[in-house]
Amino acid sequence: MSKATGIIPARWDSTRFPGKPLHAIAGKPLLRHVWERCLRAKTLESLIIATDDMRIAEAAFSWGAEVSLTSLRHASGTDRIAEVAKKMPGIFHFVNIQGDEPLVDPRLIDRLVRQMRRDPEVAMITAAHPFENSAEAESPHQVKVVLDRRKRALYFSRSPIPFPRAGAPAYFRHQGIYGYRRELLLQFVRWRTSRLEQVEALEQLRALENGVKIHVVVTRGGSPGVDTPADARAVEPLLLSAR
């Protein structure tokens, strides 16, 4: 069975929320909540926090996490996990897990890994779910995805897609979790930033523009992200009730 590793990229600097990974929510740093949830996944050979900041690294070491220190020059979390992947030639699949989703579902991680293992054509996989309220699809902060009949991504956008010319469309919210086959991950970070990626500020469009078929696992719902201190306050009751 091919091995899989989960990597949680974490950085200190954030325009809206500096120091977010170590912000305390329900008695623990945000990043620790994510890490503990990921430990419940059954398919991961290992789980690594990838960071360029010693404050994050030392905190993660203190609660027992495996940490990989990465370059300061990375523009994205994908670049950061690719650096770690290069040092792990024995691992075939990697899962890029958002460090700001403290309620990430470990069963979703397992679904991504199992589908990659089951189907050799799946080089990249992510997840999406229907919007509970279609009005939320109007927000440019909520990324939408349109799927083909085989549950592969046709396009991702910050705009509501598809356009409702006739009837009410089913909007799908993209969840920021990715599974990669090793070869594709290392190739992905060598490709230049693509035109549509620049226009939408969505990194996954680089894969589509280079002909990659992105498979999408459709779930009933997603996990809330923490982008601001207000988000942290909102998610705290959910974390307390999930204990």
On whether the pTM is more than 0.85, the answer is yes
Which H or E element spans position 57?
A: helix 54-62
Banded pLDDT at 98 (limits 50, 70, 90): very high
Domain boundaries, the chain: 4-242
| Residues 170, 165, 201: CA angle, nearest 5 degrees | 65
103-134 pLDDT tens trace: 999 999 999 999 999 999 999 999 999 998 88
Single-letter code of the amino acid located at 83:
E
3-state helix, strand, coil in the chain (%, to 5): 35, 25, 45
pLDDT average, residue stretch 65-71:
96
pLDDT higher than 80, residue 238: yes
4-242: CATH homologous superfamily?
Answer: Spore Coat Polysaccharide Biosynthesis Protein SpsA; Chain A (3.90.550.10)
pLDDT average, residue stretch 130-153:
93
List, as one string, the DSSP characters of 167-229. S----EEEEEEEEEEHHHHHHHTTSPPPHHHHHHT-THHHHHHTT--EEEEE-S-------SH
Q: Which pLDDT does position 67 carry in this prediction?
A: 98
Whether 218 contacts 151, CB under 8 Å: yes
Which H or E element spans position 107?
A: helix 106-118
Task: Report the mean per-residue pLDDT for the chain.
Answer: 95
pLDDT higher than 80, residue 168: no
pLDDT average, residue stretch 159-163:
94
